Amino acid sequence: MFNLILFGPPGAGKGTHSLRLMDKYGLVHISTGDIFRAETSNKTELGMKAKAFMDKGELVPDEVVIDMLFSVMDRHKKAKGFVFDGFPRTIVQAEKFEEMLEERKVPVSLVISLAVDDEELIRRLVKRGLESGRTDDTEEIIRQRLNVYNNQTKPLLDFYTKKNLLHSVHGIGSIDDIFERVCTTIDHNIKN
């Protein structure tokens, strides 16, 4: 089973590339953000809890995220693998995720970090907010999300580097060029 974590700050292109990787490699795409947005639009209890945190640019608590992830993975037991988009976001989540995968006897295969500077991220997200109407894509909330990312999520770079799983990919350029870099990284680092 091939389990890929696509890592990077908000606006780095994780969602865009995860969907393309899903198609190319036959993986199941798991995006915590997409799941939370679906739950929010359906006004479920989980969705309303998640929305309260997301609207402030904060992370959804670990126990909510982990429960949701177990549920999605269990619905896809025959999958060739998963591409995780936006998860894990903290060291605690990464440790719990590893435990969960060990119970299932499947490892994290590879972690790819999309490297993009803050000003490019802000430009991309403000544009996305204007085009999509997403309420969490205003400059003020984006800056808060980047602060949260830098303080709580960025330490995962060291976490996965120490496990020899992390590979950084330059995340600026055309979508096709970035996707080609991501695929080259996967193809050079995965043993079939």
Residue 71 has pLDDT above 90, yes or no: no
Mean confidence (pLDDT) of the chain: 90
- Can 20 be counted among the known catalytic residues? no
Kindly tell me if the per-residue pLDDT of 163 is higher than 80.
yes
The pLDDT-based confidence of 136 (bands split at 50, 70, 90) is confident
Q: Which of 14, 20, 51, 124 is catalytic?
A: 14
Choosing from 56, 80, 127, 134, the catalytic residue is: 134
What is the phi/psi pair of residue 158, to 5°?
Answer: -70, -40
Least confident of 3-12, 14-23, 99-108, 123-132: 99-108
Q: Give Rg (Cα) of the chain.
A: 16
Concerning whether 89 is annotated as a catalytic residue, the answer is yes
Calpha distance 4→23 (Å, rounded): 14
Instruction: Provide the pLDDT for residue 150.
Output: 94
Residue 123 known to be catalytic: no
**pLDDT of 192:** 52
Q: pLDDT band at 1, cuts 50/70/90?
A: confident
> Distances in Å between the alpha carbon of 159 and those of 41, 48, 120, 149?
34, 31, 25, 15
Active site annotation includes 128: yes
Structural contact between residues 88 and 5, judged by C-beta atoms closer than 8 angstroms = yes
* pLDDT digit string, tens, across residues 6-63: 999 999 999 999 999 999 999 999 988 777 777 788 887 877 887 888 788 787 788 7
Give the angle subtended at the CA of 82 by the CAs of 159 and 186, to the nearest 5°: 65
In the chain, what are the domain boundaries? 2-180
**Would you call 124 a catalytic residue per the annotation?**
no
Homologous superfamily (CATH) of 2-180 is: P-loop containing nucleotide triphosphate hydrolases (3.40.50.300)
Residue among 20, 51, 96, 145 flagged as catalytic: 145
For residue 64, the model assigns a pLDDT of 74
